Structure 1
């Protein structure tokens, strides 16, 4: 039995992670600001993770085998966690994002030359941080990259960043509404806004990312790991699969370069290679196998 602390984890795939670890017999504790209560059999600590003194007080003398941080978005949050959990955990797993690879958000000196699909070593967060400078982080991708850099610089505990692909499935649990956007538009005959030649992107099922986080918590490897199901898909391909489910042909409206489009339509490439996690022993599913169920769930909402 391991002692696992999950920071966040009160909604969507975080809930699945918490219950999976509990059901496996681990001593699980959930830490949040009181916005959600944990399931039976899971401990609960209430603190604002941005408030270092409050966080220390809530933790008291507790130590953990693994901390899984679901809600680290900025280098400031990472710095607080690094100080507070130094000497308090044997392993730290941060939920990151594939958007750290997005060339549109990268500093110019590191934006080019990446391999497609992208492997973990296509991005060095420390180099990106040096190129970006030390100003405040606002963009989601930039904040995640800079948070990764904080943990990587002079590490105080074994650290893993799970760079999650776009998470789909779960119906109402999927608070992003991105898959529902396609279902609603195509069912209503409303055009989907796409780029002229959208690039394929990576996806992962909500149960699959929960499984991978749980798996990563119990492993010994360190560093970044990409989390994506097999089979990248572009916006037109996604629309076609949705159309097959709802019984309507998709309509499209092509947007110009740099213009805002529907979710998952990209005018740049940064789909991920999942070879590292697969080589370490995690078995990924295929997008084509689980996406029809996810579409049906979104249509039923």
Structure 2
């Protein structure tokens, strides 16, 4: 295990939600942190700021100049094109590259058991940079595929760019949760309105916003490579989430409306979205259980207005 304090760390993205919390943890640990983004918002106090378009290799190189880093943590790499630019730019410029990935890389797996990292080996994933990755609608519907191919690009770099991809479970909690997913449930439960779910509704793994920030901070200080799953212990079902929302509201009524096809509510799934977190545990990370923080996450997200 490598625990370097006072490291020189670059965070690409990191202006909101768990990225913001990650930057705050790095600064609190005494790391020298630089945040790179398009300039839409400033980084947390104490971090240096670089402005560049990561999709423009010339812009990225110009912003970085001759800077080198102990660790790069990439919060906003969604496509193989972005990954290819990053691989070219950062090979030889950093000792470690941490890519924030997603449970959605497993969208084609339908295991009844939690999936391990080897279910999707980046070295076997075909990369197609010519797909319309610049089309927001395409990217939105191919989110998992974009992350899979981005991982494959970094894997192809070999030892020249030591990397890990943190496959993040569904994130809950925080007063700044911008997704509106739990509010979807709160509004319907408060009104007693139907909540569309698959006829065969499957559970998933989750992680609290503070825990994933902590995990990324921890991963930045390690020396393992390749994918790693990040999820709290114990899956949650839609019913679990609804029960927690009802408890927070102090009333209301959950009405689940099963559908065979069509659009369903967030956090309801036609297939099992469970990740095996045992690799991270073997490497030394201690996860909490979803039962320890679910009520808190709901209260943080919904606040006093619900």
Structure 2 gaps of 5+ residues are 1-5, 134-138
- For the 8 Å contact 1:178–1:263, the answer to whether it is kept is yes
Report the 3-state secondary structure (helix = DSSP H, G, I; strand = E; otherwise coil) of the residue aligned with 2:45: coil
Q: Among residues 162, 169, 175, which one is paired with 1:165 in the alignment?
A: 169
Counterpart position of 1:249: 253
- 1:99 to 2:104 alignment: yes
- 1:237 to 2:240 alignment: yes
**CA positional deviation for 1:122:** 1.0
For normalisation by structure 1, the TM-score amounts to 0.92
**CA positional deviation for 1:125:** 2.7
Q: Among residues 59, 62, 73, which one is paired with 2:64 in the alignment?
A: 59
Counterpart position of 1:117: 114
- For the 8 Å contact 1:66–1:93, the answer to whether it is kept is yes
Q: Quote the Cα distance in structure 2 between the aligned partners of 1:176 and 1:83.
A: 33
Counterpart position of 1:265: 268
Counterpart position of 2:297: 294
Q: Quote the Cα distance in structure 1 between the aligned partners of 2:124 and 2:272.
A: 20
Q: Quote the Cα distance in structure 1 between the aligned partners of 2:13 and 2:131.
A: 26
- 1:13 to 2:13 alignment: no
Structure 1 gaps of 5+ residues are 104-110
Q: Quote the Cα distance in structure 1 between the aligned partners of 2:72 and 2:112.
A: 31
- 1:76 to 2:73 alignment: no
Written as runs of structure 1 = structure 2, the 5 A alignment for 1:128-147 is 128-129=125-126, 135-137=131-133, 138=139, 139-147=142-150
Counterpart position of 2:136: none
**CA positional deviation for 1:233:** 1.1
- For the 8 Å contact 1:71–1:95, the answer to whether it is kept is yes
Report the 3-state secondary structure (helix = DSSP H, G, I; strand = E; otherwise coil) of the residue aligned with 1:150: helix
- 1:225 to 2:234 alignment: no
Q: CA RMSD in A?
A: 1.6
For normalisation by structure 2, the TM-score amounts to 0.91
Counterpart position of 2:206: 203
Structure 1: which 4+ aligned runs deviate by more than 4 Å?
Answer: none
Q: Quote the Cα distance in structure 2 between the aligned partners of 1:237 and 1:250.
A: 11
Counterpart position of 1:126: 123
**CA positional deviation for 1:298:** 2.6
Q: Quote the Cα distance in structure 2 between the aligned partners of 1:88 and 1:284.
A: 32
Q: Quote the Cα distance in structure 2 between the aligned partners of 1:39 and 1:77.
A: 24
Equivalent residues, number:
290
